[in-house]
Amino acid sequence: MQTDSSFTFVLFGGTGDLSMRKILPALYEAHRAGMLAASGKIVAVARHEEDRASYLQWVNEHVKAHVAKSGVDENAWASFVDRIEYVKLDLGRAEDFVKLRDALQDHSGTRVFYLATGPSLFVPICHALASVGLNENARIVLEKPLGYDLRSSNAINDAVGEIFSEEQIYRIDHYLGKEPVQNLLALRFGNALFEPLWRREWVESIQITIAEELGVEARGDFYDNTGALRDMVQNHLLQLLSIVAMEPPHSMDSDSVRDEKLRVLRALKPIDPRDISKVAVRGQYHAGVIRGTSVPAYATEPGVKPDSTTETFVALKVEIENWRWAGVPFFLRTGKRLADRVAEIVVNFRAVPHSALGASALRAGANRLVIRLQPNETIRLYCLAKKPGEGMNLSSVHLDLAFDQFFKEGQMEAYQRLLLDVINGRLALFVRRDEQEAAWKWVEPILNEWAASGKPKPYAAGTWGPAAASAMLAQHGTCWLEEEN
């Protein structure tokens, strides 16, 4: 489906890593699939001394490697780069924004300003756009992190909100654009099968994991002032939790969906600082081996302070104080330099109340739904079935909800879906300000307590984090999914 109308997509940070790895590849895929209006233009903005020809050479060198596995269609690529223009812009020079305004005068349709920059530049860019009248008939996309805490987040939102209305602001969280998350909504709200089971009477626990094999790479300076709680929990993990736990919305329009997510965030049980050691584990990776390769400790990474107490791992036990989820523990986990790269949601259903088929039918985890977000996007339903042969011997089997086998269209990447939503003015998959505030309010007591306490627990790179994270689940009679076998 093609975008609704003409557009001009202005990409601040046009030479940056995010633009090369995610944004421009996503726009290329949308172009190749015929999803962009023919008149739509892409205007890359950066401070480098580039002209259009040298910028397109840079794009050719750095973007092609990040397009889909199917490779680059050279004819589609040639017509895609025809859309791209380049404007050199110094944020400190007001006349450069006049130059940008003049460059956009001949382009019709909705203007999208994507700020693929550091958050410290969000407010100056917005003020400069307003100074030359470019905030009208426009949408602005803000990348995370949006602030360091509730106060700084509010300061950015206040300043941006003076220039753009809430309906113009798109706070992006790319996990919300992933195909399995969209299918989670379809499974829950499009079928009578799952929704009656999606509650405390039938769900024993839920796990949400985002694990990375990589360390901080070249982001040591940024990460050492951020940590896993701010970088991953406050946004990605809490957004996924709210999608899993939300009530059925009235419709799929933007405010109906986000209203229900907000109710979940506001129902999160506050964590008493005195109980943080029982329900929150923080860790920091030491030297170890991942897939046969030795990797250094976090404290020796470039840009990281040798005595750093920044956490690279977080595990939390979360409770939702409402009628549907009271008493059901949600276990959240994220970390760097872990044993595998995986993002998944695991819904563990309760065992049957009585089994005439033997003890195996009563074991925890016999019935579960696993929504894998990365590296392979799949949905699996695990249940028990009889083994072939004599006797009633049960074994775990799984049903693959392989929707890609039923549809000829390939799965759309998260950024592609979200960028098309911005261009078409669809806000449902973007974070509203009150959602963001609720998440910061819940996270801040943990941040404050950790800032005043000792060092994180060590864990070897290539493992699944500190042993305390497993012990926390063991207290509730369960374990992380990879520990079962």
Secondary structure (3-state) at 209: strand
Alpha-carbon torsion (321, 326, 329, 333), positive or negative: negative
The response to whether 91 counts as a known ligand-binding position is yes
Sheet holding 110-115, edge to edge: 84-88, 41-46, 7-12, 110-115, 138-142, 169-171
CB 211 within 8 A of CB 342: yes
The DSSP code for 146 is -
> Do 246 and 340 reside in the same domain of the chain?
yes
> Do 71 and 115 reside in the same domain of the chain?
yes
Boundary residue ending a domain (143, 164, 184): 143
> Do 246 and 129 reside in the same domain of the chain?
no
> Do 187 and 107 reside in the same domain of the chain?
no
Residue 213 lies in a domain: yes
For 17, the token pair is: 């890593």
The response to whether 47 counts as a known ligand-binding position is yes
Kindly report whether the peptide bond that precedes residue 445 is cis, defined as omega within 30 degrees of 0. no
> Do 235 and 111 reside in the same domain of the chain?
no
Dmax (CA) of the chain: 83
**For the chain, how many structural domains are there in total?**
2
Active-site positions? 236
Residue 96 lies in a domain: yes
Phi, psi of 204 (to 5 degrees): -85, -45
**pLDDT tens-digit profile, the chain (485 residues):** 455 579 999 999 999 999 999 999 999 999 999 999 999 999 999 988 778 999 999 999 999 888 876 788 999 999 999 999 999 998 888 889 999 999 999 888 899 999 999 888 999 999 999 999 999 889 999 988 788 999 999 999 999 999 999 999 999 999 999 888 888 888 889 888 888 999 999 999 999 999 999 999 888 898 999 999 999 999 999 999 999 999 999 988 889 999 999 999 999 999 998 899 999 999 999 999 999 999 999 999 999 999 999 999 999 999 999 999 999 999 999 999 999 999 999 999 998 876 766 666 556 667 899 998 888 788 888 888 878 877 777 777 888 876 667 776 667 889 999 999 999 999 999 999 999 999 999 999 999 999 988 789 999 999 999 999 999 999 998 999 999 86
Report the predicted TM-score, pTM, of the whole model to 2 decimal places. Answer: 0.92
CB 156 within 8 A of CB 150: no
For 297, the token pair is: 């400790």
> Do 237 and 133 reside in the same domain of the chain?
no
> Do 338 and 474 reside in the same domain of the chain?
yes
Residue 122 lies in a domain: yes
**DSSP string for 297-349:** -GGGSTT--TT----SEEEEEE-B-STTTTT--EEEEEESSBSS-EEEEEEEE
Which residues are CB-contacts of 476 (< 8 A; sequence separation ≥ 6)? 205, 317, 329
> Do 214 and 136 reside in the same domain of the chain?
no
Kindly report whether the peptide bond that precedes residue 145 is cis, defined as omega within 30 degrees of 0. yes
Boundary residue ending a domain (143, 160, 195): 143
- Supply the range of the domain harboring residue 138: 7-143
Specify burial of residue 296 (Cβ count, 10 A radius: 0-12, 13-18, 19+). middle
Long-range contacts for 269-277 (Cβ within 8 Å, ≥24 apart)?
A: 269/318, 269/319, 269/320, 269/321, 270/442, 270/445, 271/442, 271/445, 271/446, 272/445, 273/445, 273/448, 273/449, 276/445, 276/446, 276/449, 276/450
CB 343 within 8 A of CB 372: yes
Residue 421 lies in a domain: no
Among candidate residues 137, 86, 143, the one with its CA nearest the CA of residue 111: 137
Rounded Cα distance between 170 and 205, Å, is: 32
> Do 231 and 341 reside in the same domain of the chain?
yes
Residue 370 lies in a domain: yes
Residue 157 lies in a domain: no
Residue 193 lies in a domain: yes
The response to whether 174 counts as a known ligand-binding position is yes
The DSSP code for 438 is H
> Do 74 and 185 reside in the same domain of the chain?
no
Q: What is the CATH number of the domain that holds 19?
A: 3.40.50.720
Q: What is the CATH number of the domain that holds 281?
A: 3.30.360.10
> Do 186 and 135 reside in the same domain of the chain?
no
Among candidate residues 335, 331, 327, the one with its CA nearest the CA of residue 480: 331
The response to whether 231 counts as a known ligand-binding position is yes
Residue 420 lies in a domain: no
CA angle 312, 316, 321 (to 5 degrees): 150
Tokens 């940590």 found at: 227
- The identity of residue 110, as a single letter, is T
Boundary residue ending a domain (87, 122, 143): 143
> Do 124 and 184 reside in the same domain of the chain?
no
The response to whether 41 counts as a known ligand-binding position is no
The response to whether 398 counts as a known ligand-binding position is no
Rounded Cα distance between 303 and 218, Å, is: 8
